[in-house]
């Protein structure tokens, strides 16, 4: 529902047989009254310096978001994302974004190599940037250096044939204005944060669902951050939390995640979650697919853009 239908004015052709002197008079009166009403409505609704088009543009998504839309994201370049997650998603016809960092790549037994990252890309998944060092970019001094790290990741991706990403995921869910400026400068269009500040880290709670008229595309909230204590019941609460026009954003790590057990998702539980989505008519998209729903000529005035968050 985009609001246009409500404002549509239907003009009826007058029946020529019924036009008489007094009818013409009445009709003129009605038309003048209607015009006065329209003008006063427009003036009353105008904020200073804004046109009616701009006012509406901030409220109406660029494209209608189908219900049961889920953004699937996987962080930290964990090997099981290639061996367990990707084959299952292909089988179910699900899209997703994998956020790659060099941070743990030295450990080849549990983390992806750049060549393996390219395999995910060739399978049709989106590859996003998750920085070189996985630092807290909420800190001003780290945030100012994010640009160099983005480029280091881009260079390695280019070497294995993966194009420059448009999506970023905040490391440790920390964010700040200096890093946002770096993302803009380096052409990043979308960035996912955590459930914070709305929901504390580690809590088995439902985070905010994405509202493209409220959340800035460089601060897309996580609706569900997958922790080992998740159950199918909690998963159902997360995915059913979006109101019409909102999108659920899921953040996973390794499936399983042996090196980082606090964000582990057991493979059996993951299969259960994904099968539930499939059986109940949900569709999953990659982060980049959100761009079509943003009105890029007027992005939401999100107060978090001017704040910082980090442990
Ligand atoms: Zn991470």
What separation in Å is there between the alpha carbon of 255 and the centre of ligand 1?
14
Query: What does pLDDT average to over the chain?
Result: 87
What separation in Å is there between the alpha carbon of 248 and the centre of ligand 1?
19
181-185: Cβ within 8 A, 24+ apart: 181/143, 182/143, 182/144, 182/145, 182/146, 182/147, 182/150, 183/146, 183/150, 183/218, 184/218, 185/147
Q: What does the alpha-carbon distance between residue 97 and residue 286 come to, in Å, rounded to a whole number?
A: 5
What separation in Å is there between the alpha carbon of 170 and the centre of ligand 1?
7
140-144: Cβ within 8 A, 24+ apart: 140/176, 140/178, 140/308, 142/179, 143/176, 143/177, 143/178, 143/179, 143/180, 143/181, 143/182, 144/178, 144/179, 144/182
Task: Tell me the DSSP string of 191-235.
Answer: EE--STTTS-TT--S--PPB-TTTS-TTSBPPSEE--TT--HHHH
- 302 with 216: CB under 8 angstroms? yes
More confident residue, 159 or 36: 159
Domain residue ranges of the chain, discontinuous segments joined by + = 14-57, 69-306
- Look at residue 86 and give its three-state secondary structure: helix
What separation in Å is there between the alpha carbon of 172 and the centre of ligand 1?
6
- 34 with 212: CB under 8 angstroms? no
What separation in Å is there between the alpha carbon of 173 and the centre of ligand 1?
8
Given a cut of 50, whether residue 41 has pLDDT beyond it is no
CATH class of the region 69-306: alpha beta
Q: Where are the alpha helices (DSSP H) in the chain?
A: 4-7, 21-45, 52-57, 80, 86-92, 114-122, 140-144, 146-159, 177-185, 232-239, 267-279
What separation in Å is there between the alpha carbon of 188 and the centre of ligand 1?
17
What separation in Å is there between the alpha carbon of 192 and the centre of ligand 1?
11
What separation in Å is there between the alpha carbon of 101 and the centre of ligand 1?
8
pTM over 0.75: yes
* Cis peptide bond upstream of 256, omega within 30: yes
Listed residue (284, 287, 283) closest to 130, CA to CA: 287
What separation in Å is there between the alpha carbon of 123 and the centre of ligand 1?
22
Q: Which residue has the tokens 């007027």?
A: 298
Res 18: pLDDT: 41
What separation in Å is there between the alpha carbon of 34 and the centre of ligand 1?
58
What separation in Å is there between the alpha carbon of 201 and the centre of ligand 1?
13
What separation in Å is there between the alpha carbon of 158 and the centre of ligand 1?
21
- 62 with 295: CB under 8 angstroms? yes
pLDDT tens, residue by residue, 283-299:
999 999 999 999 988 99
What separation in Å is there between the alpha carbon of 15 and the centre of ligand 1?
69
Given a cut of 50, whether residue 43 has pLDDT beyond it is no
pLDDT tens, residue by residue, 205-226:
999 999 999 999 999 999 999 9
What separation in Å is there between the alpha carbon of 21 and the centre of ligand 1?
77
What separation in Å is there between the alpha carbon of 3 and the centre of ligand 1?
39
Q: What does the alpha-carbon distance between residue 266 and residue 227 come to, in Å, rounded to a whole number?
A: 10
Alpha carbon of residue 175 to chain centroid: 16
Q: What does the alpha-carbon distance between residue 290 and residue 190 come to, in Å, rounded to a whole number?
A: 8
Res 11: pLDDT: 38
Res 38: pLDDT: 56
- Look at residue 48 and give its three-state secondary structure: coil
pLDDT tens, residue by residue, 135-194:
999 999 999 999 999 999 999 999 999 999 999 999 999 999 999 999 999 999 999 999
Q: What does the alpha-carbon distance between residue 282 and residue 70 come to, in Å, rounded to a whole number?
A: 7
Calculate what percentage of the chain has a pLDDT beyond 70.
80
- The dihedrals phi and psi of 151, each to the nearest 5 degrees, come to -65, -35
What separation in Å is there between the alpha carbon of 311 and the centre of ligand 1?
13
């Amino acid at each position: 529902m985009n609001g246009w239908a409500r404002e549509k004015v239907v003009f009826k052709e007058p029946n020529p047989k019924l036009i008489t002197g007094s009818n013409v008079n009445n009709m003129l009166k009605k038309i003048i009254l209607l015009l006065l009403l329209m003008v006063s409505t427009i003036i009353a609704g105008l904020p200073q310096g804004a046109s009616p088009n701009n006012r509406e543009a901030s409220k109406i998504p660029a494209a209608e978001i189908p219900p049961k839309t889920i953004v699937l994201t996987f962080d930290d370049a964990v090997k099981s994302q290639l061996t367990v997650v990707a084959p299952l998603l292909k089988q179910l016809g699900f899209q997703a974004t994998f956020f790659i960092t060099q941070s743990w790549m030295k450990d080849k037994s549990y983390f992806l190599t750049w060549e393996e990252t390219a395999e995910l890309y060739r399978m049709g998944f989106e590859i996003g940037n998750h920085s070189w060092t996985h630092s807290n970019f909420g800190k001003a001094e780290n945030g100012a250096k994010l640009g160099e790290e983005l480029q280091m990741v881009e260079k390695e991706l280019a070497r294995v044939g993966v194009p420059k990403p448009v999506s970023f995921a905040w490391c440790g869910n920390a964010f700040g204005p200096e890093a946002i400026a770096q993302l803009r400068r380096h052409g990043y269009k979308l960035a996912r944060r955590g459930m914070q500040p709305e929901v504390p880290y580690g809590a088995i709670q439902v985070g905010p669902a994405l509202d493209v008229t409220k959340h800035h595309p460089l601060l897309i909230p996580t609706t569900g951050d997958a922790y080992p204590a998740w159950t199918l019941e909690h998963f159902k609460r997360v995915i059913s939390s979006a109101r019409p026009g909102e999108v659920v954003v899921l953040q996973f790590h390794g499936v399983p995640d042996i090196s980082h057990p606090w964000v582990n998702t057991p493979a059996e539980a993951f299969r259960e979650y994904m099968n539930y989505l499939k059986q109940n008519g949900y569709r999953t998209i990659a982060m980049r697919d959100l761009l079509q729903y943003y009105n890029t000529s007027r992005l939401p005035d999100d107060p978090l853009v001017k704040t910082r968050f980090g442990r």
